[in-house]
A and B are shown apart, each in its own frame.
Chain A
Amino acid sequence: MIEMSRISKVNNVNITNTEKITPPKDLSLRLESKKLSVMYGSSYGVKDISIPIYDKKVTALIGPSGCGKTTFLRALNRMHDLTQNARVKGSVLLNGKDIYAPKVDPVVIRRKLGMVFQKPTPFPTMSIYDNVIAGLKLVGIKNKLILDEVVEKSLRHAALWEEVKDRLKTPGGSLSGGQQQRLSIARALAVEPDVLLMDEPTSSLDPQSTTRIEELIHKLKKTVTIIIVTHNMQQAARVSDYTAFFYLGGLIEFNTTSKMFTVPDNKRTEDYLTGKFG
Chain B
Amino acid sequence: MKKRETDGSVLKEPNVKYQTSQTTLSEYLRKKRSFIYRTLGDRLFSYFIFALGFIVILTTIVMAIVLYKDGAEAIKRYGFFGFLFGRVWDPAMKIEFGAFPFIVGTLITSIGSLAISFVPALAVAIFTAEYSPRWLAHIIDNLTNLIAAIPSVIIGLWGIFVFAPWMRDTFYMNIYMWILDNNPSFAPIFGNPIGYGIATATIILAIMIVPYTTVLTVDAFKKVPKEQREAAYALGATKWEVVKMAVIPYARGGILAGVMLSFGRAIGETMAVAMLIGNKNNLPFSIIGPASTMPSVIVNEFREAVENIHLSSLIAVGFYLFIISLVVNLIAAYIQRKFSLTGARTV
Contact = CB atoms under 8 A, between A and B. Distances in A.
B249 interface: yes
B195 to A, nearest CB: 45
Interface string B301-324: 000000000000000000000000
Max chain A C-beta neighbours (<10 A), residue from B227, B231, B232, B233: B231
A77 interface: yes
Interface size bucket, B side?
20 to 34
Contacts of B133: 84
Nearest to B234: A115
Interface stretch (A123-131, A253-261, A262-270): A123-131
A123 B234 CA distance: 13
A135 interface: yes
Contact of B234 (A110, A119, A126): A110
A1 interface: no
Q: B-side binding surface: helix, strand, loop or mixed?
A: helix
Contacts of A110: 233-236
Nearest to B251: A125
Nearest to B134: A84
Contacts of A184: 231
B13 interface: no
Contacts of B271: none
Contacts of A79: 230, 233-234
A84 B134 CA distance: 9
B341 interface: no
Interface string A105-122: 001111100110111010
A125 B235 contact: no
B238 A107 contact: yes
B240 to A, nearest CB: 11
A121 B234 CA distance: 11
A125 B233 contact: no
Nearest to A122: B231
Contacts of B230: 79, 82, 115, 117, 121
Given A119-B227, A125-B252, A111 B235 contact: yes
A188 interface: yes
Max chain A C-beta neighbours (<10 A), residue from B227, B233, B236: B236
Nearest to B231: A121
Contacts of B238: 107
B121 interface: no
B231 A138 contact: no
A188 B237 CA distance: 12
A48 B225 CA distance: 31
B235 A138 contact: yes
A117 B227 contact: yes
A28 to B, nearest CB: 24
A79 B234 CA distance: 8
B236 A123 contact: no
Contact of B235 (A84, A119, A126, A191): A191
A79 B231 CA distance: 10
Interface string A136-153: 001000000000000000
B249 A188 contact: no
A121 B224 CA distance: 12
Given A123-B245, A125-B252, A191 B231 contact: no
Given A111-B236, A188-B234, A191-B235, A123 B246 contact: yes
A63 B338 CA distance: 41
Contacts of B250: 123-125
Interface string B127-161: 00000011000000000000000000000000000
A184 B229 CA distance: 13
Contacts of B234: 77, 79, 110, 114-115, 117, 188
A114 B231 CA distance: 9
Contacts of B249: 123-126
A123 B237 CA distance: 14
B228 interface: yes
A110 B234 CA distance: 5
B241 interface: yes
A252 interface: no
A108 B232 CA distance: 13
Interface in B249-298: 249-250, 252
Q: Which 6 A-B pairs have the closest CB atoms?
A: A111-B236, A115-B234, A121-B231, A135-B235, A125-B249, A110-B236
27 contacts: A77-B234, A79-B230, A79-B233, A79-B234, A82-B229, A82-B230, A107-B236, A108-B236, A110-B233, A111-B235, A111-B236, A114-B235, A115-B231, A117-B231, A121-B227, A121-B231, A123-B249, A125-B249, A125-B250, A126-B249, A134-B232, A134-B235, A138-B241, A184-B231, A188-B234, A188-B235, A191-B235
Given A111-B236, A138-B235, 11 more contacts: A79-B230, A107-B238, A108-B236, A117-B230, A118-B227, A123-B231, A123-B232, A138-B236, A138-B237, A138-B241, A188-B234
Interface of A: 77, 79, 82, 84, 107-111, 114-115, 117-119, 121, 123-126, 134-135, 138, 184, 187-188, 191
